[in-house]
Structure 1
């Protein structure tokens, strides 16, 4: 090994863990994830020394390679069904291990839902929404243009929402959204948890442009904690109800600028999925002056904020 290849052990382990996470979310199986990562490193070591030196970002190269291998396996007609999923990264014990196992158990609901997506939709969604990869990296892995990958991820989100959501009467959805807002205003973790499905999932889309969570959060308590942390009271911050995707959602503002748009998917009288848009590019239309072409803002459905 060349001295230039020397890497701290913590970085090596974190790199492998990241690749395992990517492969696990794309394939839904620990064994297949291990196989993909092993194959990824085999391909790395098949490169000549000169070829490896030309790779300026090895972790990015490895992630792209792992993503392509996963996509190939997803598209293979003989790919075994995920069915019985093995434990994922269950190397910890005690309370931390119990929490990890709970998150894993809850994530199976989402992983099972992902099985209904096409390989390209699943790849675009996982790489973009779960791992927050750069659009050009997602496009490179999926083999489509960036706009096509955006559309694939949108199709995946719509499909997942259709699977989890039951058509809820507007008045029930409105009441639940307003209850979520009250719980956030009062920083009431117990109330907020009670409004969420036990296997609720929250997605945070920062687009790599704000320091947001890059992976989904699973479980009612974990989702409640994440939302309360994100929406903690601060001066010049407001939280209002507003129409989002034709249903009542939440809008968080800082200094009158929209900082987060939150949509809620409801199933069985509880919030099943929470979608938090923090990406400044996607919030641009929300920050247009009222009446400006393309503006999504309308004062008609806003509630009282906090200050």
Structure 2
């Protein structure tokens, strides 16, 4: 290396960006699996550059952020086509809270442990993001969640700052229109405790009382396991469906767990997680249920724990 060539950033500095990149990619894609693939691709592109070219980059973190944002933009575009062919409903991959599992935290190499749990990974929020165009989603997440300025976002998505500002504003309106205020977490935990007990005791009257009359429920099996393929609408119909499932699935254990930062429920059979359910409550009643049964989306919940 000549004396005029700046030193290349230490490998540890580059590796230290992995948590930020995973956090960004998960929010952009709603899939931990796809997020980890995007992170790996970003690092592959970094190390594919000649050493002098890498050494000349003033901010490797900014470079990696730009690359992963563009990768996610491409993935989001192709994901729309893939999800049109998806068997049944597509629901974002749920995230566990590592502190709730027996034996303590998971391995630090687990991608799920790199995602910071806050309101921007709430399942209701992620579902709203799915309704956005790829450009809206990227501009909104980069600006409103990660606080990137619009001129910087413009360089990332190859649009003008004014266009990026409009994209973020459009996304913000979608969130405001489709994500009603959620009940406080302690209240949600209390309601779900009653919900779990009513489901276990086949108390359909209590289930109906806990569900909003206009509640909806979707289940994601991905064609790999059985799951209802249509949205169930109405508290009474949801309660009836849950009673039907209870009759078909004796021996299930229901556990209260944190799902994407909010109280949720996990169903296990013989100690193995088979369903993760996220909930949205408004004014103390359940208005939305997202039940994920696709085993490919439950890997963070079924991996061995220490």
**Higher RCO structure (Cα 8 Å, ≥6 apart):** 2
